[in-house]
Amino acid sequence: MKSYLIIIFGLIFCSCVQTTKSESTEKVEELVSSLQPENISNRKTAFGIADIEHKVFEIGNKTHFTDTCSFYFECDCCSGELLFNSDSTFFYLDYCMSDQTARKGTYEMENGQLKLKYGAECVSRKYNYENEIDSSAVDFFMTDSVLNEISIAYSLSICNYKLLLSDQENDDMAIEVKSSYTDNIEYLRKEGFIERFEKLKNKN
């Protein structure tokens, strides 16, 4: 009889242990699941100017945006960069083979959206194909043009730990990249973009 009772109590104890272990395992799995990038992407809902200042964003159409939260461009004139300054201004640098075109504008946060206003002035750095025939010709030359001002509103979210800007109206997206903001600004300065923007501003 004693042996019979011991066996019964043993079975009850094992059952309790297994239940506790199962519940514990479920809690761990829930915790691990909550730490996945797709869940983290929904955690931050309020963004401010400090989230984008001194950061670089790669920009392109959503057709080139992959499920790894990055772009894969299959053309030579598809990509660009947004550089956000701390004085509520930004630079947009567009790449097309050996040429670069830059625009400057202003930005603000309004009703949870990032609103960009592109100025009319445009500065381009064009490759000079004549230098392939004439070695004395310059490699690149700078030109200025005036375009229509445009305004774009982006919604903000987090994608795989990176800040993502989405323009639903034009199907454009911009993702935060590790590219150095300081190095990019120095490039714009060294190549004469910033100087030409300042001269264009003084003309007006």
pLDDT profile of the chain (204 residues), mean per 10: 45 43 40 38 73 94 85 78 96 90 95 94 88 79 91 93 89 92 96 91 73
User: In 12-98, which ranges are E strands?
Assistant: 56-61, 80-84, 89-96
pLDDT of residue 39: 37
Read off the DSSP letter of residue 102: E
Q: Domain 49-203: which topology?
A: Lipocalin (2.40.128)
AA letter at 18: Q
Bridge partners for 125 per DSSP = 100, 142
